Structure 1
Amino acid sequence: MNLFRMDDLSNDEIDEILRVAAQYKRGERKRSFEEKTGALLFYEPSTRTKMSFDMACHKLNIPILSFSEATSSAVKGESLYDTVKTMEAIGADFVVIRHPDDEYFTQLDGVNIPIINGGDGTGEHPTQCLLDLMTIKEQFNQFDGLTVTICGDVRHSRVARSNAYALKRLGANVRLSAPEDWRDHTLPFPYLSIDDAVKDSDVLMLLRVQTERHDRAVVLNDYLATYGLTVERAEQMRQKSMILHPAPVNRGVEIDSKLVESDKSFIFTQMENGVYIRQAVIELLLTQGGIHNETIN
């Protein structure tokens, strides 16, 4: 009854979530859960993930319990477990959590309402992965045989991990591109330079440099020229290739500002699709007793 990692989903379940999300996007699906209540517990800053969960709940007529770590009992030492159990006790029907600890959800055995992982440390970010998959499928109508290169701060990225494994499982050819110090060699994918990646990638997925997760100061003065997507590099991309970025975008660092809203960029489409994906995930958790169900209508 939870969504912690992409491995919690079978390929059929991923397809089902994408199908339901597409129905929401086309206006073919209307659901209302005004009798349900959600809680969004964000222990890290967030704009897109938090606000799109807010909007998804609004569209589903689900009231949200407000939460701010700074004004909660977390500052008094309350554990994550006790906070989530409090949400459950006062009537929340599900909870979305973003937390700086990897696999924070291992602390939550005993919670009896669905938990959606909104990002755990450098672990995973399943709903971001799902919205990325939706955006890619809209462009190519498939994953099998696509060449996807994930570029940037791979070592500190939960987005990279979720996407790399899910895309490989769906048949894509996944590669990575990163400065040597930012490579994660636990990921079983080849590395190549950004200059090579732009030439044959169907999908170029850029990552934010997560300076807050580095153990020393990061100098970014020459990052764009050395490792980022410049206008000159973008000109080498395939005609139908696409640029993705989970955002927030550091314009002029990971990507030239001129490319953020270019014809190849689907960055704002990703943000739009995030609402529909999160509607679909919430609906399926509330109506099917959990994600794992092969008879979703």
Structure 2
Amino acid sequence: MSAPGPAMPLAHLLTLDGVPRATLESLLDRAQSFAEGGDRRDCLAGTAVCTLFFEPSTRTRLSFQLAAQRLGADVLSFDASTSSTSKGETAIDTLHTIEAMGVRGFIVRHKLDGAVAELAARAGADTRVVNAGDGRSAHPTQGLLDMLTLRQAKGADFSRLKVLMVGDVKHSRVARSDLQALRALGVGELRVCGPSSLLPVDDGTLAGCRVLDDLDAALEGVDAVMMLRLQRERMDDGLVDSLDDYHRDYGLTAIRLRRAAPDAVVMHPGPINRGVEITDEVADGPQSLILRQVANGVAVRMAVLEALLG
């Protein structure tokens, strides 16, 4: 577990891997102030920000747009399906074209691992890039908003917590960012549960985790359950026998949830495959923080944009 160290300024936010605990906590503190109603509409006045999305998105795109607007930025929305990329323009040429219009901040989602880091490396010296999700690699602002949600529910001392992550870790950029953040913030115990076909092997993702394949056993006494979406668009056929079988073995039901601590909370990054990863009764129940995660996304993204561009 990482000990607190000095915060560091960010040129870009591409991953949470290696970001010091003090920097994470500083961003979370600032996000909490925004969540409580803080506003800085003068912060990015006159600054242009572009949501450069090469993959579909609802929560991330809209919350980044709202976050930028609440900081006073001029916001451009890029949709690859209606852009010159459909005519063969490269992502790097697209970035440079929009930079030439005076845009300083880019919020980028891409289907390929490492694509956002490559754009950041080719960007101008005054340009700031935020990774809004690339391939299976990273989704740092989702990791931050999940940490903010957990901290609001359980307090800032993560060393007391047992946290369980369930499902498709192998294909999930959210899982990687969440696990990196939880380790950096000193979580007491990390458990991971899922079928072996959906767990990464030998890439360091599960370092420090207790890995189980029995969900009932994994749930015993945990303080938080982080469910993951089956990333069917990123997986090969045959990794899951059937959705019914997956739900039987790894779906979170109200009965199963009773094995967790009485005040355990349930999280999910969305979109939810209801009746597969989680039942309606749990997703919409009193222990669910799913909509709070969505709300916190705006506050966290305000904190990130302020730190990079303010």
Task: State the TM-score, normalizing by the size of structure 2.
Answer: 0.89
Deviation (angstroms), 1:7: 2.3
TM alignment of 1:178-189, pairs within 5 A: 178-185=194-201, 186=203, 187=205, 188=207, 189=209
Aligned to 2:297: 274
**Alpha-carbon contact 2:109-2:116 (below 8 Å) kept:** no
Equivalent position amino acid for 1:122 in 2: R
| 1:166 equivalent in alignment to 2:169 | no
Measured in 2, the distance between the counterparts of 1:246 and 1:12 equals: 24
| 1:110 equivalent in alignment to 2:122 | yes
Deviation (angstroms), 1:61: 2.1
The percentage of counterpart residues that share the same residue type is 38
Aligned to 2:17: 7
| 1:49 equivalent in alignment to 2:70 | no
Aligned to 1:293: none
Partner of 1:212: helix, strand, or coil?
Answer: coil
**What is the aligned residue count?**
287
Correspondent of 1:191 among 207, 211, 214? 211
Deviation (angstroms), 1:86: 1.3
Moved over 4 A (4+): none
Equivalent position amino acid for 2:33 in 1: Q
Aligned to 1:292: none
Measured in 2, the distance between the counterparts of 1:35 and 1:276 equals: 21
Aligned to 1:87: 98
Deviation (angstroms), 1:27: 1.7
**Alpha-carbon contact 2:20-2:184 (below 8 Å) kept:** no
- Structure 2 residue runs of 5 or longer lacking an equivalent are 1-10
Task: State the TM-score, normalizing by the size of structure 1.
Answer: 0.93
**Alpha-carbon contact 1:229-1:256 (below 8 Å) kept:** yes
| 1:253 equivalent in alignment to 2:276 | yes
Deviation (angstroms), 1:9: 2.3
Partner of 2:62: helix, strand, or coil?
Answer: helix
Aligned to 2:3: none
TM alignment of 1:132-211, pairs within 5 A: 132-141=146-155, 142-172=157-187, 173-185=189-201, 186=203, 187=205, 188=207, 189-192=209-212, 193-211=214-232
TM alignment of 1:278-293, pairs within 5 A: 278-287=301-310
Deviation (angstroms), 1:222: 2.3
| 1:17 equivalent in alignment to 2:27 | yes
Deviation (angstroms), 1:34: 2.3
Measured in 2, the distance between the counterparts of 1:95 and 1:151 equals: 32
Please tell me the root mean square deviation across aligned C-alpha atoms, in Å: 1.3
| 1:221 equivalent in alignment to 2:244 | yes
**Alpha-carbon contact 2:52-2:107 (below 8 Å) kept:** yes
Equivalent position amino acid for 2:153 in 1: Q
Measured in 2, the distance between the counterparts of 1:37 and 1:106 equals: 20
Measured in 2, the distance between the counterparts of 1:280 and 1:169 equals: 19
Partner of 2:108: helix, strand, or coil?
Answer: strand
> Per-residue CA shift, 1:239-287, capped at 9, x if unaligned?
1211010000111110011111211100000000000000000011012
Partner of 1:129: helix, strand, or coil?
Answer: helix
Measured in 2, the distance between the counterparts of 1:164 and 1:175 equals: 10
Measured in 2, the distance between the counterparts of 1:93 and 1:169 equals: 29
Equivalent position amino acid for 1:86 in 2: T
**Alpha-carbon contact 1:5-1:162 (below 8 Å) kept:** yes
- Structure 1 residue runs of 5 or longer lacking an equivalent are 288-297
